[in-house]
Amino acid sequence: MISTPIIQIDHISKSFGNKHILKDFSLDVKKGESLVIIGGSGTGKSVTLKCILGLLTPEEGSIKIFGNETAGLSLSEHEKVNGKIGMLFQGAALFDSLSVIDNVAFALIQGKKYPKKKAYDIALEKLNQVGLSKSIANAYPSDLSGGMKKRVGLARAIASSPDIIFFDEPTTGLDPIMADVINDLIVSCVKKLGATALSITHDMTSVRKIADRVAMLYEGKIIWTGTVDEMDKTDNPYIRQFVEGSSDGPIPVEVV
């Protein structure tokens, strides 16, 4: 089942001024798999996701989603592709001015043009799926804790039953118990939808829980890929240093 690449990133490069973030970056994500990109802060993990989503345009290379070239498409042209993608942002990125239910139903009402009643019914079902009760439907994001915001963000990401879901550092800023809850929810939601998942994180507990395959990003390139078991067994010094969280190794500790 895990065979066809649903996302094909081929030799993309992205710079900001003189700073080269992605250099000759290539990666395939196969249908139905959960791939996690690991790497230190500032290595270009978020930039990768933004390039795939069309929020940033790579200077070189190709990005294909479902076999269609998307690199260089305008934001409007990307809207159709993004209709098949869900995204959980690092800080949840809930719309402050909208209630929880309006946040979750947003893509259904604005994107898919569902009637409000139908969109709300689906939104309530998704909230229930992430362990939130009906009672918070009318609350606003400012009333919620960090963990609850992440859950609402997850409900919003899965509301339109996307084929691909991106998770940008899903457990950052959460306590270990809540992080585990979010990891479990990610696994169950992705499995239930049969979606392809691409996550970026530096939380190794999260990696072990949600990844089918792991890719390590360093200096703008993928330097290693493998399963979680292979990650634990590899002698690759970059992986060993990162997994063990050691300051000794080939990855320099940058102190600004």
Partner 1 sequence: MEFLTLLGQVFINFLQATGRLTLFTLKTLYYCVTPPFYFKTLFSQMIEVGYYSLPVVALTTLFSGMVIALQTYTGFSSLSAENAVSLVVLISITRELAPVMAGLMVAGRIGASMAAELGTMKVTEQIDALSTLSTNPYRYLIAPRVLAGILMLPLLVLIGDIIGICGGYIIGVYKLDFNATTYLTSTWNYVKAIDIISGLVKASVFGFIITLLGCYQGYNSKGGAQGVGAATTNAVVSSSILILIFNYIITEIFFNS
- Interface characters, 56-95, with partner 1 (x: CB under 8 A): -------------------xx-xxx-xx-xxx-xxx-xxx
Q: Does 96 bind partner 1 (CB under 8 A)?
A: yes
Per this entry, what is the length of the chain?
A: 256
Cα separation, 64 vs 69, in Å, equals 4
Q: Tokens 């509301």 map to which residue? A: 159
Q: Reduced to 3 states, what is the DSSP secondary structure of residue 8?
A: strand
Q: Does 107 bind partner 1 (CB under 8 A)?
A: yes
The letter for the amino acid at 2 is I
Q: Which of 13, 20, 23, 111 binds partner 1 (CB under 8 A)?
A: 111
* Eight-state DSSP code of residue 193: H
Helix H or strand E encompassing 100: helix 100-106
Q: Does 106 bind partner 1 (CB under 8 A)?
A: yes
Instruction: Put the strands of the sheet holding 5-16 in their side by side order.
Output: 19-30, 5-16, 60-65, 68-69
Q: Which of 26, 68, 110, 205 binds partner 1 (CB under 8 A)?
A: 110
Q: How many amino acids of this chain bind partner 1 (CB under 8 A)?
A: 28
In angstroms, give the least distance from the CB of 200 to partner 1: 14
In angstroms, give the least distance from the CB of 47 to partner 1: 12
Q: Which is nearer to partner 1, 64 or 112 (CB)?
A: 112
Residues 6 or more apart whose CB falls under 8 angstroms from that of 144 comprise 94, 100, 136, 152
CA distance readout (Å), 232 to 122, 136, 142, 214: 40, 41, 40, 11
* Eight-state DSSP code of residue 194: T
- Interface characters, 118-157, with partner 1 (x: CB under 8 A): --------------------------------------x-
Residues that bind partner 1 (CB under 8 A): 50, 53-55, 75-76, 78-80, 82-83, 85-87, 89-91, 93-96, 106-107, 110-112, 156, 166
